[in-house]
Amino acid sequence: MFDRTIAQKLAEWKKSAVHKPLILRGARQVGKTTIVNDFGGKFSNYLYLNLERTSDREMIEMDLPLDALVNLMFARKGLQRQQGDTLIFMDEIQNSPQAMTLLRYFYEEMPQLYVIAAGSLLENIVDVKMSFPVGRVDFLPLRPCSFREFVAAIGQQSQLEIMSHPEYTLPFHQEYLALFNQYCIVGGMPEAVQHYALHADVIALDPIYSRLQKAYMDDVEKYALTEKMTNAVRFIMQYGWSQVGSIITLGNFEGSSYKSREMGEAFRMLQKAMLLELAYPSTSVQLPAIPELRRMPKLFWLDTGMVNYAAKVRKQVIGANDILDVWKGRIAEQMVAQELLTLNDDVNQTRSFWTKGKGESGAEVDLTWVVDSELIPIEVKSGHNSHLRSLHTFIDAAPIQMAVRVWSGPFSVDDAVTTIGRKSFRLVNLPFYLLGNFEEVVRKYL
């Protein structure tokens, strides 16, 4: 077990005067059960229920008053209830609609209890068969480990203090870049990170990635409504990794015979499982920047380590001096998109990119991100400032006078860059290893 940032969030939830039942959202194997089991040790009483087990599921679904049900839980688990606080964790809650409904009554009738629920494909199950306790629960996302968590896990936590001050990182730039490249290769799946922290052997991670890929496929297939959807899901899980960071066409995806509607349904199911995201473009240079769902999306997966393994490009990543040179920069763009999701606790956070409107000359900015109601354009590339033509096009049309370039160079700020249209703006050059500081840096230089 190594430290995860979410542990602090859970501690804050525990201290809160009002603590609604908490639903942890995240793909399988990102560490939800491990995190909550560790957190349970901070309570006088901890009850763990796995609703994949028939005995736990039948118990939670018994028609009893809530206080009697809680007492029964302790008795069935052979636990003596102690004075003090109590945490109840209902894992794999997607297996019981009644348990989902029960969250409402915990909030209304026994607010002194602490209740956490977790499960996979919750959105899909809610769409089909569950009555969701809207307004009576809170959500917290758990994603693959961030770069900062990876650095701490491999015993380099002392470096994080320097990284929190971008202007001090120049003397350590190559060292930190090498650390980030390690993270890019290993990824953020907790089991892979922990194994690498102990053995420093990338090749030994293959069985972990293989097992994860198979588990994800089996898990999602359980909820496919038709054989055709099952086959489409299998196709994406086998061949879709190679399109990471690319703008994709749903119809005949990767040379398949699947139509746009069929492939769209399969992608949406995988997105609900939080395994990937279809990031749609916007043509707006300011908020609100509404994604244009009729245009072709860009594909991002949950984790770069999984991508490297499943797309069979890890050897290229290991041998690269600069990840921007690997696979036309698509691994680099996946890394940026992956790190952006770790910046906040919005379970509904999506990623987007910018493009010119239909019929206009082609221009595309890799990603956009909102900071303090400002739409920040992000380019993921190296090279001279004059080569950032799409970024210049965005700035010429936008009210903002700032942009971010993520690259393998050191941290710097160019205060007077001039666009092709002769507009002056500030360009922040952010090395990959400082993506965790993205929002703080943007606020400083806006």
Selection from 130, 127, 133, 138 nearest residue 95 by Cα: 130
Same-domain check for residues 211 and 342? yes
Please provide residue 236's backbone torsions phi and psi, each rounded to the nearest 5 degrees.
-65, -45
In a domain, 197, yes or no: no
Q: How far apart are CA 441 and CA 421, in angstroms?
A: 26
Per-residue pLDDT of the chain (446 residues; tens, 9 = 90+): 788 999 999 999 999 988 999 999 999 899 999 999 999 999 999 999 999 999 999 999 999 999 999 999 999 999 999 999 999 999 999 889 889 889 999 999 999 999 999 987 776 555 544 556 767 899 999 999 999 999 999 999 999 999 999 999 999 999 999 999 999 999 999 999 999 999 999 999 999 999 999 999 888 887 788 899 999 999 999 999 999 999 999 999 999 999 999 999 999 999 988 999 999 999 999 999 999 999 999 999 999 999 999 999 988 888 888 889 888 889 999 999 999 999 999 988 999 999 997 766 679 999 999 999 999 999 998 766 657 999 999 999 999 999 999 999 999 999 989 998 999 999 999 999 999 999 999 999 99
Q: Are residues 232 and 132 in the same domain?
A: no
State whether 267 and 402 are in the same domain. yes
Give the count of beta carbons closer than 10 Å to the beta carbon of residue 266: 26
Q: Is residue 314 part of a domain?
A: yes
Q: How many domains does the chain have?
A: 2
Q: Give CA–CA dist 446/441, Å, rounded.
A: 9
Tell me, yes or no, whether 152 lies in a domain.
Answer: no
**Whether residue 433 is found in the same domain as residue 330:** yes
Question: Does 209 share its domain with 67?
Answer: no
Positive or negative: CA dihedral 234, 238, 243, 245:
positive
Report how far residue 439's alpha carbon sits from residue 373's, in angstroms, rounded to the nearest whole number: 12
CATH of the domain at 109: 3.40.50.300
Same domain, 221 and 104: no
Same domain for 128 and 252, yes or no, is: no
Same domain assignment for residues 291 and 363: yes
Tokens of 136: 């009576």
Residue that finishes a domain, picked among 94, 116, 141: 141
Q: Are residues 76 and 210 in the same domain?
A: no
Contact between residue 217 and residue 234 where contact means Cβ atoms under 8 Å apart: yes
Residue 49 lies in a domain: yes
Residue 439 in any domain: the answer is yes
Look up residue 280 and give its amino acid.
Y
Element (H, E) at 353: strand 352-355
Tokens (6 digits) for 142: 């758990």
Same domain as 323, residue 242 = yes
Q: How many CB atoms lie within 10 A of CB 86?
A: 20
Same domain assignment for residues 89 and 213: no
Does 25 map to a domain? yes
Cα separation of 320 and 317, whole Å?
A: 5
Strand order from edge to edge, sheet including 86-91: 45-50, 86-91, 114-118, 22-25, 138-141
Domain range for 62: 6-141
Beta-carbon count within 10 A of 25 CB: 20
pLDDT of residue 321: 82
User: Which of 141, 160, 176 is at the close of a domain?
Assistant: 141
Look-up of token digits 């209304």: 108
At which of 114, 141, 168 does a domain end? 141
Same domain, residue pair 269 and 395: yes
